[in-house]
Amino acid sequence: METLNFNKILIALDYDESAQKVAEIGYSLAKTMNAKVILLHVVYESPIYYNSYMFMKNLSVDIHEDLKKSTEHFLQKTKHYLGDEAIGTLVVEGEIPDKILETASLYKVDLIVMGSHSRKWLESILLGSATEKVLEKSTIPLFIVPIKKQDK
């Protein structure tokens, strides 16, 4: 049996409180394999504001740029937390599953790490699951970190 070499690992993060756990596990996995790490966040929704239903407008470019800057700050903070300045960071815009797969292909990663939130069945039907969609379409191995909300 041939051993697989994972030289580059993409860790896809969202703003959920579980992102730190996903980053830690993905980074730990990468370090055991001496792999390079890229942290990715996909900005999905086009921000909108409205003062009534009939007058929806796109958010100004300045505010949208602020969103991208705060997202980059979030990834830099995560990178600093992991303690490795060699970690790459990327902020891309678009449909989450598609952009994760496009980025993985573009950067020729060997493994994608993502979290999977435990949602109730109705939420899953209504919201879909980015992880599930990446799993369906990916030809790149996927390492899924299960994230379950703890009962308080």
How far is C-alpha 123 from the geometric centre of its chain's CA atoms? 19
Question: Does residue 133 sit within a domain?
Answer: yes
CATH number for 70: 3.40.50.620
User: Is residue 109 assigned to a domain?
Assistant: yes
Sole residue written with tokens 């703890």: 150
Q: Is residue 143 part of a domain?
A: yes
Q: Would the pLDDT of 52 be above 60?
A: no
As a whole number, mean pLDDT of residues 9-25 equals 92
Q: What is the pLDDT of residue 146?
A: 86
Confirm whether 140 is domain-assigned: yes
Number of structural domains (the chain) is 1
Domain annotation covers residue 71: yes
Structural domain that includes position 87: 8-147
Q: What is the pLDDT of residue 126?
A: 42
State how far the alpha carbon of 123 is from the alpha carbons of 13, 20, 119, in Å.
20, 23, 6
CA 50, CA 99: separation in Å to the nearest integer?
27
Judged against a pLDDT cut of 90, whether residue 78 lies above it is answered with: yes
Give the predicted TM-score (pTM) of the model.
0.82
Q: Residue 152 domain-assigned?
A: no
Q: Give 118 or 44, the one with higher predicted confidence.
A: 44
Q: Is 2 inside a domain boundary?
A: no
pLDDT band at 148 (very low <50, low <70, confident <90, very high): confident
Nearest of 24, 4, 2 to residue 13 by alpha carbon: 24
Lowest mean pLDDT among 3-7, 67-71, 127-131, 147-151: 147-151
Q: What is the mean pLDDT of residues 21-44?
A: 95
| Angstrom distance (rounded) from CA 103 to CA 90 | 9
